Structure 1
Amino acid sequence: MNFNLTEEQKMLADTAREFCEKELIPHEALLERTSELPRELELDIRHKAIEAGLHACNMPEEVGGIGLDCVSYTLVEKGLARASQALASCVLRPSNILAACRDQQIPHFLEPVMRGEKRDCIAMTEPDAGSDLKGMKTRAVKDGSDWMINGTKHFITNAQISDFVVLFAATGETATAAGPRKRISCFLVDLDTPGLEVLKGYEHMGHRGSYNNILHFNDVRVGDWQMLGAEGEGFAVVNEWLGPGRLSVAAVCQARAERAFEVAVDYAAQRKQFGQPIWKFQGIGFPLADMAIDIRLGELLLMNTAWRVDQKLPSAAEDCAMAKVWCSEMLARVADQAIQTCGGMGLMADLPLERIYRDARVERIWEGTSEIQRLIISRQLMRHSGA
């Protein structure tokens, strides 16, 4: 494998990182202090991202995106993810599900997103159906030429600052040898549709300025034209979206581990105890070496996975699961050790470590828990063995 980046890829990585350092990181203290993302700040960052060519960089060229390959997009994601989640998300990378928009969906949903005028959010998770999508209770029932939707979704990221939701709901059941199986379909629903309530979510650990919301659907009527893809093919849409989503989580974790490590190395080089820099003590120097090894392995796995996705290898789902598990768990180790390296100062808000430490915890849960990723990997192993 050629590990060298092209000149274009180097430029993209540099652009994303410079944008992060200049336009995102300076606002972290505000979000930590207020737990709010000012609307004017969000729109300002979005506008600057459009000017910088970073807006919708994950979307294919045929719908107006930049059409980056997976390796290039992963580099951009890493560059932006050095900042807190709420700020990085102001640089819109719409759900790639929207590339499947057709007919009326294009001018109403896709094109405004591509122009930066609208923002989407995803609604799959329910109070009683997280990883078990087949347990989904939100239902869409045919009513003439429309659909009537009822149910509740929660943990919906940034719904309150979005314009429409990519909603997954059960639209019926299909008889199988193992018993009835729900048909899951995908809808695009404006968040100001009558009967749809967007409620404040739970008080949560980490990611200040990033919102989680609860959505209540009470006889929400949507047109047949708002179904994305065919009826009952929601699982296919989910599977197409989840792989890249998990790889993005891995890229975020890798970027934040690198930032935490840089802070720890700098502190260990500058801080002196007993007449010498603390990195010279094995209790500090050896853990730094272990962190460096963890980070190097994460980088290799992340970029190799992105390359394998570009090659359209059949193991893409397994590869993305591996990258998410390693990078998310590695980030937890690195963030913890970085704080230990800096001692009491590591717990202070003067350094970004305590925020990185708090933010790291959710990475092993969303986009599929570490346990779910291991289930995906183990199933693939058994399939390869013929079991």
Structure 2
Amino acid sequence: MLILICFLSIFTVYTTGFLIGPILEEMSSELNQSISNLSQLAAITFLGWGIGGPIAGIMTDKLGGKRVLLFGLAGVVLSNFSILLTSNYTILLCLRFAAGLFCGSVPATCISTLGELLSGKKRVIGMGLATSGIAIGMLIGLPSVAYITSFFGWRGGFVALGILCAFVVLCVFILFPNLKGKKNHTISRQFSWVKNPKTWHIIGGNICERFITAVFLTYISLLLIEKFKLQIQDISTLLPYILLGATPGALLAGPFGSLKNCFQYISLMALLQGFLMVFVFTIEITFLMTTISGFCLMFLSQTSRPMVMNSLTNVAPKAKGSIIGFYSTSNQLGHMLGASIMGFGYAIGGIKTAGPICIFVSLIACILYFRIHLSEKSD
């Protein structure tokens, strides 16, 4: 039941976080704002997310996960319903920033709680199942928002997610375990993991992986349009099948994560992601191979994620919340770096530059992860 609640919580907040994409055109026509302006609503959401994650992690260690999770989810409910009251662009920016703050608190709290209550193989499997809510959110949540928008307008998506999130709040209130926080934690104890080099190798590798994911998700639609002359409606049908690769990846993370030398495999996965990006964006391959490669890329990306989170909770067994909160921020940093650096790459050399950029980044991730493997082997 705990894993199911965490799954629903993560599904809800990630769908809320990525909500702007499917409703951009509808919002633009109603609010008389350009697409580029409204795109900033998504950017500011993830800025808030990056700030909210580490704060929530610290508070989870101090107060316990249930309080923080209820606070975060309740904030998501309020921010979603508040959208009904305004059409002012500045207020919408503020509401989306607030939504990001609240959304960011949810995954960090869920993962740290799972890390506290589960151990070994069960912990990795639990984290994998819970974080599969990210993939399911993209696969089911966002298309559902688009469907609701077609009937009820762009505000309908916010209302639907507000109602769903209110239901999750009720589930958390009734069923989520009420763990006591560690109120005697000092700042030095909460951040003792900062001095451990292993932390930075893991975080650095994760930033590189999220960099690659961001480039893929941001530019795959453009690639399909430029290279294969697909229409937007064709892409909206195809993308869920590519993103579906993340779901089995999350489910298989448990068996991989329980292996003794898991970082040996994580380093290989990181390197393969870079090669797949070259395969998709730089080398001339068929449409079918592009689709299969994209599926495999999402599979590898999601498989490594729970393994990385589990390793971080092992690094900081007494401060799981704070380290997972920092991990959450590293995700957003990777996303922002990927989108921005590839933007320069696209301006210089077109979409084919995604391959060389990402293979370089994947090599960095591979080296960082493999250094952890070597250090563990020597121990």
Task: Give the TM-score category using the shorter length.
Answer: 0.3 to 0.5
Give the number of the structure with larger relative contact order, counting CA–CA contacts within 8 Å between residues 6 or more apart: 2
Larger radius of gyration, structure 1 or 2? 1
Q: Normalised by the size of structure 1, how large is the TM-score?
A: 0.34
- Structure number with the higher strand fraction is 1
